[in-house]
Amino acid sequence: MNGTPRRLLRRLAQTTQANSNVAASANAAQVICAQMILPTIDPTQAFRLIRGAAKIADANQTHFLTVLGSALVLAVSLDNLGINYHASNFAPVLIGATGVRFSFIDDEYVYGNDFVDLIPTVGGKPGVFNLTLMADITNSDAAIHAVAGSITVLMEVWQLEI
């Protein structure tokens, strides 16, 4: 891969935020905190996630939510079929408004024709990748509470010189 001639098309930063609900009295419930669809690439292109960061916070500062583990997942299509995982290095943590944050550095190239055999959905398209922030969260209250998730990533899109 290192010998593949390529030229930089663009360098960009992308960010997303979302709120999700954690069920009342949930115990280690999997929660999708945020999801970011990356720019679609064709088979003659590649992208590189240079670095990224994620945050999971208690949206209402209730002190009832505990993160037991979390990860930022690079996946194909929209089915969250993970091809790369960036796990946080903390657990368990009682979260507040500041939340818990973690970051990653990854200089691997993902090519447009990579992982085409992993696109199972009807209408799934090659070259469509997403980042999903997932967490196992326990809610110690008998009411539903909101968790806020955010993802920020710096990436490059490359054109292969074939």
40-70 b/e with 16+ CB inside 10 Å = b? Answer: ebeeebbbbbeebbbbbbbbeebebbbbebb
What distance in Å separates the CA atoms of residue 79 and residue 90, rounded to the nearest whole number?
A: 26
8 A C-beta contact, residue 76 and residue 129: yes
How many other CB atoms sit within 10 Å of the CB of residue 132? Answer: 21
Q: For the chain, what are the domain ranges?
A: 19-115+123-160
Question: What Cα–Cα distance (Å) separates residue 3 from each residue in 71, 85, 162?
Answer: 31, 26, 12
pTM of the complete model: 0.85
- Asked whether residue 1 carries a pLDDT value surpassing 60, the answer given is no
Q: What percent of the chain has pLDDT over 70?
A: 86
In the chain, the amino acid numbered 84 is: N
- Mean pLDDT in the chain? 86
Comparing 38 with 112, the larger pLDDT belongs to: 38
pLDDT in tens, 90-99: 879 999 888 8
pLDDT at 160: 81
The greatest distance separating any two alpha carbons of the chain, rounded to the nearest whole angstrom, comes to 59
Enumerate the β-bridge partners of residue 29.
Answer: 137
Q: How confident is the model at residue 23 (pLDDT cuts 50, 70, 90)?
A: very high
Q: Give the position of tokens 């997932």.
A: 134
What is the DSSP annotation of 100-111? EEEEEE---EEE
pLDDT at 47: 87
Q: Which of 45, 40, 118 is nearest to 76 (CA)?
A: 118
Specify the fold of 19-115+123-160: Jelly Rolls (2.60.120)
Averaged pLDDT, 111-129: 68
